[in-house]
Chains A and B, each alone.
Chain A
C-alpha cells in the first residue's frame, strides 16, 4: 500500500490544467451498505462485502476505458455517493482518488465530496479522506431523533452524528452537508424543526432537506400500500417544508434548490452541474452520465458490472441521444429546480433562441396560475410553484 501522505493535494497542484479547457464532473457509486434502509431504493447491497476489492478495481478499469474521452476535459467536481461510501475501508477511496489525480486533468478548485453515514466513520477514515483530497463531506443524518432513526431502519443513533461531525471537523473538513428527511411516519413538525436547529447549532455549511418519497419496491412503499404507515397528511407535510425553509433562511442559509440550503458560497457545485445540465460522467454500478449529447447509464447488476469490466467492456445498459429540443426541455425542467430559476440570457446564449419563443404560452399560463414569476431576467417558481413544480415542469415537456 502506498504510503499515506498528502499525495492527493500534491497531484492536484501538479496536474491542474488551464482554465479554458472544457470541464466535467465525475460521480462514483459505492453500492455497499451495512444494511438497507426502509425508504431506500438506490442500488446498494448489505451482504456483498467479499465483492468490494473486485468492485473497486472495476471502477479503475471503467475510468481507464474512458481515458481518451476524459482527457478532453478537466475535472471540476467529484462526488462519491452510495450506498454508503464510508462503509468500506478508507484506503479504497484513497487509491481510487489518487488514480484519478494521476491520470486525468484537474481543475484548480475542485470540489470533492463523499457521502458518509454516522456510525461508519472513525478518526482513521476521516484522516485518510482528508489526505485523499476530499474537501466536502455529506453526512446522512436524516433526523436527530432516535425513535425516528430506528423506525426508518438507520443503524446509527443521534450520539454518533455528533461524534462523526466532530471527527470530520478535527480533520479540517470545512464544508459539511447534512441530509435531513421530513414527512416520515410519526414525525411531527417539532421533530422536523428540532433536527434543523441541531444541524444549524453544529454549524454545518449545507443542508439538504428532502421530503420522503415512497419509491416502489421499498419497505415503506409496501407498508403504505397496506395502510400501515402513519404519514403526515399533505397539509402537515407542506407546513414542515415551509417552516423549515423559513427557519433556515432566517439563519442565513440561502434556499437555492427545491430541497437544498447553503451558507453563502457553499452551494454544492457538483449538484449544480446536474441542474445546469452540464456534462458529468458517472462510473460504478447503476451510474448515470450526461456528456456529448448523450445520456447513458450502467447496469445495476453487480456481477454483470464486474464481469463486463473484467473483459474491458463498458457496462453501459442504455443510452439516449439528447437532441437540441430535448436538451431545451431538460434544461428548463432542471433549471426550474433552482430557486433563482432559469436565466433568460443564459438560455439565449446556450440555445440561440429566446425562451419565450418556445415556451411563451406555458410561461404565461403558469404566471396566471401563480406558479411562476418572470422578473425580467429569470423565470422562477413561486412559493406555491415549489410545492406544485411537477405541474409546471410537465408543460415544459414537448
Chain B
C-alpha cells in the first residue's frame, strides 16, 4: 500500500453517551469511506461481542483505518479508535483518547449532554484533543439541535456553529462529519527517525499470534524483526508482525510516527502488554515512557461459585480464558461454608462484574452463583496490623479491630433540575456528603458528592434510575479511604450462618439492611416441610427475624384419566426448580436468592 504522508493522517475517537449513536455513526463512517461494501457491513462493526451489542455498549476497544478522499482532492487516512462508554472503564478510555489528536463528540439532539459524556470530554481535554461536536438524531421529531448546540457551548465552551447536524441512523450528512475531521483534527507529529515510542491502547490474546497490541506510534518506527521492550516490565520481545486494521488485520512492513496499527511479538499474556504501557526499541530506547500509565486495580469484589460443585474446574478454566483478554479481571480460589469451592474475583466496577458473570453463563454455558459485591476495606487490628479485606467472611472479630476504613468516591450526577430533591435525599440516604451543585443551564445541574463506594455498588444505580426515571447520569472516581464505623452483618438460615450472604455495612444501616434482606429471602426461598427462621445478626445479636412457614400441602389430588404425562410435567418443572437450588444445611436456597438480596427495592 502506498504510504500516505503524516500530514494526511487523522487519529480520532468518538465520545458519546450510551444510546446517543456512537456505533451507528462508526458504521456510517466506515460505509462512506468505502472500505467496506454495504454487503460486508455487519451492523455495528466495531462492537464485536454479542453481549456488547445487546447492551448497546462497547467493552473492548478496537481501531479501524478508513481511507477518505476529501473535497480538497487529497486522500486521508482516518484512524478511528473506539472507546468503551462506561464509568468502569475510565482509564481505558483515557488511554485510547491519548492515542488521538481529536475526538468527535456525538450528542443526541433529543437528550443533550450526559454525565459520562462530559466526563469523557474532560478526559479528552486533558489529553489536549480537538473536540469536534456532532449533533445526532436530527431526524426525530423531538430533536432540538439549537438548544443542544447552545448547551454544548455553555457547558464545554466549544464553538458549535459549524457542528454537523446528522442522523447516523438514516446516513444523513455523514460527509460533513468526515470533512470536519479532516479540517479540524490536527495531523499527528513525531519523527520516524527518533527512538521508538508507541502507546498500547488495547491488547487482546489471539491463540495463533499471541497477544495482539493496538498501538499508536508517537516517535520512531516499528518493524518486524525489531527487538522491543515493554517499558513498565522491562521485558523484551521480537516483533513478529505489524499491521493495520481495515475490515481485517493487514500486515505492513512498518508503522511510523503518527500511525495507528497493531503489533504482535509472541507475548504470552495480556498482563505483559497492558493498556497505557509504552513500547520502545530495545537497542535504541527512548528516555521516557509516555505519561499516564497505571496498572488498573479492581475496585469491586465478589465470590463466583459453580452452581454445581463439580463445575469448579470449568469455572476456573473459563475465568482463565477471560483473563487472557482482560488484564483488569483478577481471581483467586476461595471456599465458602455455604457454597463450597469457588473464586473471589475482582472487577473495575459493577458493570464489569455483570459482564464477566454474563459471559461465564453465556459463552461458557456455566451455571454460577454470585455473592454480594464488596469493596476493599482497610482494617487496623488492635495489634497495629493492617489488613485489606475484600471478603466479609475474613473480617476479624470485632474485639480485634481497632478501626476500619472504607473507600470513598467523588460522584458527579448530572440531572434535570426537577430531580435534585429526590437525588439529594437518595445520596443522603447513601451516606453521601454534599460538595456542591452547578447549574449547567436553567434546567440541568451537576451534583457533586462524596460517597462511600460500598453504597454506590449496592443499589445506587438502580435507585438513581428509578428516582429520576432514567434521566440522571452518574460518573465517579476513587478519592481515597476514610475511617468509618462498619460492622459485619450476618444472615442465618434455619439457625445456620450463611457466609455467602455476609456483608460489611455501616452500623447505622445494619438494621434496615438486615430487615430488608430477611424479608426478601422469605419471599424467594420456597417453603419446606418445616418452618425456617431467617435471622439477620451482628455478632451474636439478632437484629431482624422472619419465618418461612412450613409447607403443609404439595400433592396432586387427581391423576386425570390416565394422563400421566401431565403429572410428570408438573413434577419435572418442580425438579427443574430444585436443580437451581443450593443446599444449605437442610434448606434449599434458590440461586436467585443470592442476587435478590442486592436488588433495589422500589418500595423502600
Contact = CB atoms under 8 A, between A and B. Distances in A.
A388 B568 contact: no
A289 B556 CA distance: 20
B562 A280 contact: yes
Contact of A391 (B529, B557, B561): B529
A116 to B, nearest CB: 16
Interface string A207-233: 000111100000000000000000000
Nearest to B567: A333
A210 B557 CA distance: 6
Interface in B39-78: none
Contacts of B402: none
Interface string B411-453: 0000000000000000000000000000000000000000000
A318 B529 CA distance: 36
Nearest to B528: A391
Contacts, number: 90
B562 A390 contact: no
Interface stretch (B317-325, B496-504, B569-577): B569-577
Interface string A372-398: 000000000000101111110110010
A369 B556 CA distance: 20
Interface stretch (B269-277, B328-336, B546-554): B546-554
Interface in A305-327: 320
B558 interface: yes
B599 to A, nearest CB: 24
Contacts of B563: 288, 297
Given A388-B529, A397-B571, A397-B575, A274 B553 contact: no
B565 A394 contact: no
Interface stretch (A95-103, A170-178, A234-242): A234-242
B571 A394 contact: yes
A96 B30 CA distance: 76
A206 interface: no
Interface of A is mostly: mixed
B560 to A, nearest CB: 7
B564 interface: yes
A210 B559 CA distance: 10
B555 interface: yes
A85 to B, nearest CB: 12
A280 B563 CA distance: 11
Contact of B574 (A238, A274, A282, A390): A390
Given A390-B554, A394-B574, A282 B567 contact: no
B561 A333 contact: no
B562 A289 contact: yes
Nearest to A398: B575
B574 A237 contact: no
Nearest to B554: A390
A371 B567 CA distance: 20
B578 interface: yes
A258 B568 contact: no
Given A210-B557, A210-B558, A394-B575, A387 B564 contact: no
Contact of B553 (A81, A238, A275, A289): A238
A287 B555 contact: no
Interface in B228-255: none
B554 A387 contact: yes
A337 interface: yes
B349 to A, nearest CB: 41
B529 A394 contact: no
A290 B562 contact: yes
Given A42-B560, A81-B561, A288-B561, A393 B571 contact: yes
A258 B559 CA distance: 10
Nearest to A388: B554
Interface string B533-551: 0000000000000000001
Contacts of B565: 288, 295, 297, 320
Interface string A163-196: 0000000000000000000000000000000000
A263 to B, nearest CB: 21
B213 to A, nearest CB: 51
A330 interface: yes
A225 B574 CA distance: 21
A213 B553 contact: no
B547 to A, nearest CB: 15
A382 B46 CA distance: 63
22 contacts: A212-B557, A213-B556, A237-B553, A258-B555, A258-B557, A259-B558, A274-B562, A274-B564, A275-B559, A287-B561, A333-B567, A333-B568, A369-B529, A371-B529, A386-B555, A387-B554, A387-B555, A388-B553, A390-B556, A390-B570, A391-B554, A397-B571
